Structure 1
């Protein structure tokens, strides 16, 4: 079996949790046999999933791209939440929660010295739209880039007293680590469906705070790139355009929006009420996921003729 997940060219925290969690928690499941794949953390139940392999779905969700053709190549052990289960027409009991919560089962059980800092992580696409590190510095907030080294990111999340999250897996991991979090949206590419799917799995509601969209993508452009962007905008305004062309980046609005964004971040850090799932529900979801993982292990062992010991919760 191989591990299937989205691999961002520059890295993305939520997706990169897959290799850290699965290769540490259940390394015996994986080999070079590409006729089977484990579909784990991410919004991966869609038309872009590989067609030929048998897909063992463990906690993934529905949301992006076209809905896949569900056939006997799809084996569902559990999904992210009740909305995914409903869309798929599967047993509602298979809606447990996002398996990124299992990070707690592979981290060393040692205390981390809290710093009292407030951290912010944008969605990985949002991180490229503006200089969020500089914005956070002005707001007195610790910035965590979703492309940072995954171990450093986890360490900073553990040190935080509060996490402001546009990236859903920043919220999921913060919640798993029992660090309060606040959901925000800065741009319109944030998918409410997947947030609601996860939140409902833990009996929470999703009510994000809105931060104004800020664009400063041309700050690192070369002179040639700036000219190219200007030409594209001119052509588009004149109606000389086809959908096959790569669109120009959004126009810079940093000078108009910077103070608003900094103030919004600062106010959230100081005044907004935070979220944290019920502790009993949190630990119940971990136990249920671990039980499901034992089922996967037994099924794989049965097919291969091997025997795997039960995972202790």
Structure 2
């Protein structure tokens, strides 16, 4: 059984959670490198290009529109549960399988309690780092910066625990904040394709998701906002270099906007829904393997 998740050239908080979550929850010996069986966990990884002859176990994954729709009725898929109702609808699954994102199982990792250190923290989407100036924005605003590309996922989880309010463009920033019972504010992702999956998850948790406008921290951010493109290509790089003198303006304005947002109350799922969904997810997992820890 091979643990399967998205692995890019740059570490990514949500995807890299898989490296520690399943080791914490599942007894040793469950995973190996046998690609005849794939275990799909956290992430928008229900792709149409997964090996057709491999058995694929779906444990809370989602469909994000990053590939064509896979045929989950071809006999090679075993769906324990998926991230939300939009995934279930897109892939013609029973709506009862739309429990929530697998990251909710972080509840059962028995993470040590943390003392609050930060009034506000901010986590951008990992793709926004190369395009923007978010670390400098947070320094200017006096807001704690949580880097979604930090390979030390436990340190990022700890920083979320130490936070009173998380402002995040990263969906798994919100999911983990919600799981760790930290209020969060959602910023609408700059790249439009990243938005639908937020509703997939939030609807699974019966959250009335409210997106706040994502500030622009650079001319490349603004270009991406205006065009709907990622702003990470050669043309964007040339634009950023040519107009780099505007950086201080964008950093100042973005810091002001984050400070304004920090005055708001965050969102969070209701306690009873959170407990119910996390226990449903744990029950599904326990049908496939021996689980190490229970809350």
Under TM normalisation by the shorter chain, which class is it? 0.7 to 0.9
The CA distance in 2 between the partners of 1:309 and 1:141, in whole Å, is 38
* TM-score of the aligned structures, taking structure 2 as reference length: 0.87
Q: For 1:22, what is the secondary structure of its paired residue?
A: helix
8 Å Cα contact 1:95-1:201 kept in structure 2: yes
Once the two structures are TM-superposed, the CA of residue 256 in structure 1 deviates from its matched residue by 4.2
Q: Say if 1:107 and 1:127 are closer, same or farther in 2 by CA, change over 3 A.
A: farther
Q: Which has the larger radius of gyration?
A: 1
Backbone CA RMSD of aligned residues? 1.9
The CA distance in 2 between the partners of 1:146 and 1:309, in whole Å, is 28
Once the two structures are TM-superposed, the CA of residue 52 in structure 1 deviates from its matched residue by 2.8
Unaligned runs of 5+ in 2: 221-232, 241-245
Once the two structures are TM-superposed, the CA of residue 24 in structure 1 deviates from its matched residue by 1.8
Q: Say if 1:190 and 1:117 are closer, same or farther in 2 by CA, change over 3 A.
A: farther
User: Which of residues 240, 246, 253 is equivalent to 1:260?
Assistant: 253
Q: Say if 1:53 and 1:184 are closer, same or farther in 2 by CA, change over 3 A.
A: same
Once the two structures are TM-superposed, the CA of residue 210 in structure 1 deviates from its matched residue by 0.7
8 Å Cα contact 1:186-1:212 kept in structure 2: no
1:9-57 CA-partner distances (Å, limit 9, x unpaired): 2311000011211122113421232200101100011223333311101
Once the two structures are TM-superposed, the CA of residue 73 in structure 1 deviates from its matched residue by 1.0
The CA distance in 1 between the partners of 2:133 and 2:58, in whole Å, is 36
Once the two structures are TM-superposed, the CA of residue 95 in structure 1 deviates from its matched residue by 0.6
8 Å Cα contact 2:62-2:84 kept in structure 1: yes
The higher relative CO (CA closer than 8 Å, separation ≥ 6) is in: 2
Equivalent residue runs for 1:291-306 within 5 Å? 291-297=283-289
Q: For 1:265, what is the secondary structure of its paired residue?
A: helix
Match of 2:267 in 1: 275
Unaligned runs of 5+ in 1: 218-245, 298-307
Q: For 1:55, what is the secondary structure of its paired residue?
A: strand
8 Å Cα contact 2:108-2:294 kept in structure 1: no
Match of 2:243 in 1: none
Equivalent residue runs for 1:110-125 within 5 Å? 110-125=112-127
